[in-house]
Homo-oligomer: A and B are copies of this chain.
Amino acid sequence: MARPRIGIWLVGAKGGVATTTIVGLVALRKGLRTPIGLVSALPRFAGLAPTDWPDFVVGGHEIRAVRLADEAAKLSRISRALDPDLVAPCRDDLDDIDRLVRPGTIVGVGPTIGQMADAAGVPPRESPAEAVERLSADLAAFARSAELAHVIVINVASTEPPADAPAVPDRWAKLEPLLAEPGRCPLPASSLYAIAALRSGCSYVNFTPSLGSAPAAIGELARLQGSRHMGCDGKTGETLMKSVLAPMFAQRNLAVLSWVGHNIFGNLDGKVLADPANKKSKLATKDHLVRDILGYAPQTLVSIEYIESLGDWKTAWDHVHFQGFLGTPMTLQFIWQGCDSLLAAPLVLDLARFTELAWRRGHVGRMPFLASFFKSPQGVAQQDFTRQFQMLEAWADGSADPPPQT
């Protein structure tokens, strides 16, 4: 009996994260690499029988006129992120996937992202409703032509400026009509992709700090459609470190006085984040963890700066000033030098696999058991990485979903 084929639909399909995800999937499929960095490949989760690499089909939306193989070559040559001898044998597969990528939408993405749109077929102007229609049709065509049992839409596009979230109505019945009114609809592209996905019965995962499926009304849509979703913002480097170190300070009752984190990197995401509006979204998801975990508010500072020469290599320096016994101040510093796309890509594949399992199990609505993958897990207050990971373990072991949290 043939195994069901599962679609992964990447929003921002030719960005650094997507390109790396695709190269990685192809490499795993061809047996060129072992599944290092994949949570779903841990022996711990072997019993779940997650979808195997050959059973995934990839497509996506993109607004830029670039070629996947060129983007992969750049990650290899300029960033020294991918081995050249890995990229070469994947080239044909990348070209095949190129053909499955459809023009995205620039509704509500802000000027910095908007001006990068040069792919043929990206409408310079369309109403939210038109965009949702168009994107949904793409998803349907993808599922049909590739004979897919299920499609998981994952947003890995550049970070949008903060949306006017309070202006989004709480109920789907109130939000849906706004889609037809461009001037009044506060939803950015990421939310339109979410709506297109959920009303098509696809799963939706938001790997970015953009709004996506966060509004209550879109969550309601997911439940109405019997679908599932989760976000937001993949937890890959500096924030992952915070989510294991802050609990250490809390559990040892060491008083954090200040926590400063400076991030420098030079990829396209970094360029977009050089726009203060877009950066604001990012800093918001990076900066609350320490407070949430400690239960008090030390002075915190998070910066992200675009340093072109670093390419995809994100370097973070964190300086934690804390008070020890009898009040003596002490210091912990760490320097993280990681390849941004390579840290994100395996999590994208993990999210596809765990979401597929949730679909298989009939899970509807938010997926709190995926909290460990996100900087700001929707609906989950727990920010301690190990305890989040235990939520995944418990779910995998078939325990009932943990009760919803605020």
Contacts and interface: CB of A to CB of B under 8 A. Distances in A.
Contacts of A37: 252-255, 323-326
A326 B85 contact: no
A321 B310 contact: yes
Interface stretch (A131-139, A160-168, A214-222, A341-349): A341-349
Contacts of A321: 307, 309-310
A119 B325 CA distance: 29
Contacts of A352: none
Nearest to A372: B251
B244 A39 contact: no
A298 B240 CA distance: 22
B253 A35 contact: yes
A115 interface: no
Contact of A331 (B319, B327, B337): B337
Given A307-B321, A326-B27, A248 B253 contact: no
Q: How large is the interface on A (under 10, 10 to 19, 20 to 34, 35 or more residues)?
A: 35 or more
Nearest to A33: B326
A333 B264 CA distance: 13
Nearest to A316: B332
A338 interface: yes
B251 A386 contact: yes
Q: A303, A310, A387 — which one has the most chain B CB atoms within 10 A of its CB?
A: A310
Contact of A334 (B85, B310, B332): B332
A156 to B, nearest CB: 14
B327 A257 contact: no
Q: Which of A42, A85, A252, A332 has the most CB of B within 10 A?
A: A252
B326 A315 contact: no
B325 A346 contact: yes
B260 A305 contact: yes
Contacts of A387: 386
Interface of A: 20, 23-24, 27, 33-39, 41-42, 77, 80-86, 240-241, 244-245, 247-248, 251-255, 257-258, 260, 262, 264, 298-299, 301, 303, 305, 307-310, 315, 317, 319, 321, 323-339, 342-343, 345-346, 372, 384-387, 389
Closest CB pairs A-B (n = 4)? A257-B309, A37-B325, A386-B386, A334-B334
